């Protein structure tokens, strides 16, 4: 099959959340399975720093009274063709934010549709989040292209209908008060990034005012769990960590723990319970709970805490202030650093994810890959990836709590710190976590089922004849 991924992010070039991981990894696996999969994303101003891009575009197009160019390259270290949508609105060195965000991503989606109609015709257009949500609406005019729409984060739904009608083409048959509402109605299939989240967004607690519509279209919606790159994130070969190890040599992690404590200025003590948190500092991630209970945990136990991430200024300030109250016991790193995140996964004893909601989550899977035990709230993809530790029957891979309450979170933290004292049990818990299979191959097979169901409704057509480079269509 010919499949075009259209998205605002693709790791490792532009990654803000889980969408980047999906778009950066899934096409590689699908191509290895024999399918012609390509990626279409914006040409951000910082991309020339990360990969070589030809100076001349392969195609020029027009959308929303704007002229744009499309450049062709490949995702780094892969054979996945990458098309970059070039327009001045994407030249600033940022992915999101800005007063023109609604307009420029609507232009991007329009440009992707023109590209499919006039340059390379896929059988399936796989759209990701509201930035591409108008594509399923427009593709209803095309009898030989199907669409799949993936919801990564329902909280962001794109511009309202009244704004869209002023800037772009809204067909007479279009329904929906914003981009997200229109996308889920007109896509042939809708997916979310975990089975549990697919059910949760049909309720008032998680539906972001779209729960009624999502329940209505639930017959064409499914949840497919994200995966991780098990080759890139491999404790046996990872060059960013001090001591490599596997499930059989998990005791070697102690070297990484001591090295991490030294690197971040914590008291060097391999016997202390070292907790990590690698996250965006936003309300969704449960930072309110961390602020309420972490002072008590650090004051009355020998635990240590490492925070890595960037986000809202309020949470950044709160984490800085908390670290200043616990010198040698807490380190706050306000930055994005993949290498440091790997050292946290390989050196910390536990990773906390007390999320208010979590469509899928990647950190908990990466942590388990490195023998770091997750402490999570039972929501979204965290339910599908982490099972509660049962020390009697020796099953489970982490510690879970249900209610979004400080006491419940604190109780799980204390249970984990107490279990850490029993080294043999803790080692077997680590081994169970490391033996979990979160590879992208499992997810790819599920996506292929969805693609095949959609493609069955559309006659197979050859790819469109490609114009000469520089030709305007």
Look at residues 151, 154, 226, 225 and name the one whose alpha carbon lies nearest to residue 190: 151
Q: Which two tokens stand for residue 347?
A: 């050196």
pLDDT over 60 (residue 473): no
Query: What integer pLDDT is reported at residue 229 of this predicted model?
Result: 87
Q: Would the CA dihedral through 256, 262, 268, 274 be positive or negative?
A: negative
Contact 379, 401 (CB under 8 A): no
Distance CA 261, CA 221 (A): 45
pLDDT over 90 (residue 71): yes
Q: How confident is the model at residue 462 (pLDDT cuts 50, 70, 90)?
A: low
What average pLDDT does the chain have?
A: 94
| Mean pLDDT value of segment 394-419 | 96
What SS3 class is residue 312?
A: coil
3-state secondary structure 203-215: CCCCCCCCHHHHH
Distance CA 125, CA 145 (A): 7
Q: How confident is the model at residue 200 (pLDDT cuts 50, 70, 90)?
A: very high
Q: How confident is the model at residue 231 (pLDDT cuts 50, 70, 90)?
A: confident
Query: What integer pLDDT is reported at residue 331 of this predicted model?
Result: 97
> 202-229: b or e for each residue (b if 16 or more CB lie within 10 Å)?
beeebbbebbebbeebeebbbbbbbbbb
Q: What is the pTM of this model?
A: 0.89
Query: What integer pLDDT is reported at residue 463 of this predicted model?
Result: 56
Contact 342, 240 (CB under 8 A): yes
Distance CA 38, CA 122 (A): 9
Share of the chain above pLDDT 70, in %: 97
> 234-258: b or e for each residue (b if 16 or more CB lie within 10 Å)?
ebeebeebbbbbeeeebebbebbbb
pLDDT digits (tens, 9 = 90+) for 32-41: 999 999 999 9
Report the residue count for the chain. Answer: 473
For residue 459, with 0-12 CB atoms within 10 Å meaning exposed, 13-18 middle and 19 or more buried, which class applies? Answer: exposed
Q: How confident is the model at residue 62 (pLDDT cuts 50, 70, 90)?
A: very high
Q: Which two tokens stand for residue 201?
A: 């967004």
Contact 312, 279 (CB under 8 A): no
pLDDT digits (tens, 9 = 90+) for 254-300: 999 999 999 999 999 999 999 999 998 999 999 999 999 999 999 98
Sequence-separated (6 or more) residues with CB below 8 Å from residue 351: 275, 276, 277, 278, 344, 345, 363, 364, 367, 372, 373, 374, 375
Q: How confident is the model at residue 458 (pLDDT cuts 50, 70, 90)?
A: confident
pLDDT over 90 (residue 460): no
Contact 227, 194 (CB under 8 A): no
pLDDT digits (tens, 9 = 90+) for 320-374: 999 999 999 999 999 989 899 999 999 999 999 999 999 999 999 999 999 999 9
Query: What integer pLDDT is reported at residue 325 of this predicted model?
Result: 96
Q: Which two tokens stand for residue 206?
A: 């998680």
| Mean pLDDT value of segment 369-382 | 96
pLDDT digits (tens, 9 = 90+) for 39-56: 999 999 999 999 999 999
Distance CA 463, CA 454 (A): 17
Query: What integer pLDDT is reported at residue 472 of this predicted model?
Result: 40
Phi, psi of 58 (to 5 degrees): -90, -15
Pairing of β 81-86 and β 36-42 = parallel
DSSP 220: G
pLDDT digits (tens, 9 = 90+) for 94-137: 899 888 999 999 999 999 999 999 999 999 999 999 999 999 99
Query: What integer pLDDT is reported at residue 470 of this predicted model?
Result: 45
Query: What integer pLDDT is reported at residue 195 of this predicted model?
Result: 95
């Amino acid at each position: 099959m010919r499949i075009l991924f259209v998205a605002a992010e693709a790791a490792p070039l532009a990654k803000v959340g889980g969408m980047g991981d999906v778009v950066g990894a899934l096409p590689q696996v699908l191509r290895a399975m024999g399918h012609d999969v390509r990626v279409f994303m914006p040409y951000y101003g910082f991309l020339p720093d990360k990969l070589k891009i030809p100076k001349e575009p392969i195609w020029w197009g027009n959308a929303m009274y704007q002229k744009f160019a499309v450049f062709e390259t490949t995702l780094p270290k892969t054979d996945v063709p990458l098309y970059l949508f070039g327009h001045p609105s994407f030249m600033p060195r940022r992915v999101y934010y800005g007063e023109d965000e609604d307009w420029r991503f609507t232009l991007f989606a329009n440009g992707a549709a023109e590209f499919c109609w006039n340059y390379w015709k896929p059988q399936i257009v796989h759209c990701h989040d509201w930035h591409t949500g108008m594509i399923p609406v427009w593709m209803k005019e095309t009898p030989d292209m199907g669409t799949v729409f993936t919801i990564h984060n329902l909280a962001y739904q794109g511009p309202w209908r009244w704004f869209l009608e002023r800037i772009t083409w809204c067909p007479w048959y279009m329904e929906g008060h914003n981009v997200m509402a229109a996308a889920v109605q007109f896509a042939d299939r809708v997916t979310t990034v975990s089975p549990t989240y697919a059910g949760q967004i049909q309720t008032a607690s998680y539906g972001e005012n779209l729960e009624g519509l999502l329940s209505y279209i639930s017959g064409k919606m499914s949840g497919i769990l994200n995966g991780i790159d098990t080759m890139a994130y491999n404790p046996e070969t990872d060059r960013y960590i001090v001591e490599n190890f596997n499930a059989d040599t998990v005791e070697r992690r102690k070297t990484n723990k001591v090295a991490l404590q030294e690197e971040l200025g914590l008291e060097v003590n391999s016997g202390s319970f070292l907790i990590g948190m690698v996250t965006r500092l936003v309300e969704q991630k449960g930072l309110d709970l961390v602020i309420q209970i972490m002072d008590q945990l650090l004051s009355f136990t020998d635990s240590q805490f490492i925070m890595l991430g960037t986000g809202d200024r309020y949470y950044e300030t709160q984490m800085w202030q908390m670290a200043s109250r616990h010198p040698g016991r807490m380190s706050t790193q306000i930055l994005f650093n993949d290498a440091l995140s790997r050292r946290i996964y390989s050196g910390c004893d536990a990773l906390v994810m007390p999320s208010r909601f979590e469509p899928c989550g990647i950190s908990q899977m990466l942590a388990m890959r490195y023998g770091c035990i997750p402490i999570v709230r039972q929501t979204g993809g965290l339910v599908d990836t982490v099972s509660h530790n049962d020390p009697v029957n020796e099953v489970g891979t982490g510690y879970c709590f249900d209610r979004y309450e400080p006491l419940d979170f604190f109780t799980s933290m204390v249970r984990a710190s107490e279990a850490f004292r029993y080294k043999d049990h803790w080692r077997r818990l680590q081994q169970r976590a490391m033996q979990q299979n979160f590879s992208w191959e499992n997810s790819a097979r599920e996506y292929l089922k969805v693609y095949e169901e959609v493609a069955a409704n559309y006659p197979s057509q050859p790819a469109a004849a490609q114009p000469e480079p520089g030709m305007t269509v």
